[in-house]
Amino acid sequence: MTRVLGIDGGGTSTRAVILDGKGNLLGSGQGGPSNYNSVGLAQSQVNVGEAVDAARREAGMDQRPFDAVFFGMAGVVSPLDHARIRSIGVNLGLAAVERIGVDHDCRIALAGGLNGRPGIVQIAGTGSSTFGVNARGEGWRSGGWGHLIADEGSGYWFGIQAMRAAVRAFDGRLPATVLEARVLDFLQIKEMNDIFQPLYVDTMEKHEIARLAPLVLDAAAEGDAVAQQLLAQGVDLLADCVAAVARRLRMDGDTVEIALVGGLFQAGDLFVKPFADAVARQLPSIRLVWPERSPTLGAGILALEMIKKLDD
């Protein structure tokens, strides 16, 4: 009986699923973080093994190799990254090297989000990235270059913009905005000159900065002009990424399905509608969808696709 393994490895946890040949879920498991850029290759292998062992136990499966394995891993970009992740699968005895697929986490988010169909996934959480695959199987990514030079329209980006708007309004470089008072309240500081402590002494983490994003969305909904401008700018930047992927994959003349992944979209129409309007200004026909399956199951779907290609 066919057994495939899908692995979703990130900076906070690793998830694994075992599927049969028809895509039915047999078992799932979770382990520690496996972004090897953060935890190192050896610890990444340990944590992947932990997740796989838990999935095997739930599926009642022994240690025999899988028919195919697909890793969707955060931080995987270069051919060297691919080779290192494949080595984890080989070292753990998960499958022969030619039966191990590797790609970035956007790929499995798309496969799960659209249940294997061609289209685009827009990720807008702490960071942001856009990835698409067309009907010919060609893929392209836009954005996703990290918070120092990219992550436009992400929670982190909106958090930074909220604080920039607050200090500029305090300086008199921007019109008055409710963001000034709300940033002070969020950071639990009494006056703007105290902002150095949380930002530069306590060194706020990316995920902490991203938590300021709802301040912008709420203020925009209340009619704050500065917040509305920031929201419009953020969704336009995301729409640019979607349009770039669609053009590159020659999908811009078709109805494009776009799976919405990430915490910002959980704000509902506060964020989804402006984003949809921004994309519609660049692409003639779109259909926004909520993810049908998880990224981990997306990895399992891609493992099943590997078997079909290997058997052809």
- pLDDT tens figures, 47-84: 999 999 999 999 999 999 999 999 999 889 899 999 99
150 assigned to some structural domain: no
pLDDT band of 230, cuts 50, 70, 90: very high
User: What domain count does the chain have?
Assistant: 2
pTM of the model: 0.92
Q: What is the pLDDT of residue 176?
A: 98
162 assigned to some structural domain: yes
Q: What is the pLDDT of residue 58?
A: 98
Q: How far is it, in rounded angstroms, from Cα 183 to Cα 167?
A: 9
pLDDT over threshold 90, residue 12: no
248: Cα separation from own chain's centroid: 20
240 assigned to some structural domain: yes
109 with 202, same domain: the answer is: no
pLDDT over threshold 90, residue 89: yes
For 229, residues 6+ apart whose C-beta sits below 8 A from its C-beta are none
Q: What is the pLDDT of residue 44?
A: 96
36 with 89, same domain: the answer is: yes
pLDDT over threshold 90, residue 249: yes
Q: What is the pLDDT of residue 152?
A: 96
Q: How far is it, in rounded angstroms, from Cα 191 to Cα 193?
A: 6
- 216-240 burial by CB neighbour count: b if 16+ within 10 A, else e? bbbbbeeebebbbbbbeebbbbbbb
For 145-194, the pLDDT digits (tens) are 989 999 999 999 999 999 999 999 999 999 999 999 999 999 999 999 99
133 assigned to some structural domain: no
Mean pLDDT of 244-255: 93
pLDDT over threshold 90, residue 254: no
204 with 255, same domain: the answer is: yes
222 assigned to some structural domain: yes
Q: How far is it, in rounded angstroms, from Cα 246 to Cα 132?
A: 7
97 with 191, same domain: the answer is: no
189 with 211, same domain: the answer is: yes
Mean pLDDT of 215-227: 98
304 with 266, same domain: the answer is: no
Over pLDDT 70: what percentage of the chain? 100
Q: What is the pLDDT of residue 252?
A: 84
CATH number assigned to the domain comprising residue 202? 3.30.420.40
285 with 305, same domain: the answer is: no
159 with 285, same domain: the answer is: yes
Mean residue pLDDT of the chain comes to 96
265 with 299, same domain: the answer is: no
pLDDT band of 215, cuts 50, 70, 90: very high
Q: What is the pLDDT of residue 309?
A: 86
Q: How far is it, in rounded angstroms, from Cα 188 to Cα 4?
A: 49
Q: How far is it, in rounded angstroms, from Cα 19 to Cα 1?
A: 11
Residue 218 structure tokens: 């709420």
Query: Is 263:126 a contact under the CB 8 Å cutoff?
Result: yes
pLDDT over threshold 80, residue 138: yes
265 with 300, same domain: the answer is: no
208 with 244, same domain: the answer is: yes
Query: Is 277:94 a contact under the CB 8 Å cutoff?
Result: no
Phi, psi of 59 (to 5 degrees): -85, -10
97 assigned to some structural domain: yes
pLDDT over threshold 90, residue 37: no
Which structural domain range is residue 305 located in?
Answer: 3-115+293-311
231 with 161, same domain: the answer is: yes
103 assigned to some structural domain: yes
Mean pLDDT of 255-269: 96
Over pLDDT 90: what percentage of the chain? 92
137 assigned to some structural domain: no
Listed range (37-41, 261-265, 279-283) with the worst mean pLDDT: 37-41
Residue 288 structure tokens: 């926004």
Q: What is the pLDDT of residue 284?
A: 87
- The partner residues of 103 in beta bridges, in order of sequence, read 72
pLDDT band of 233, cuts 50, 70, 90: very high
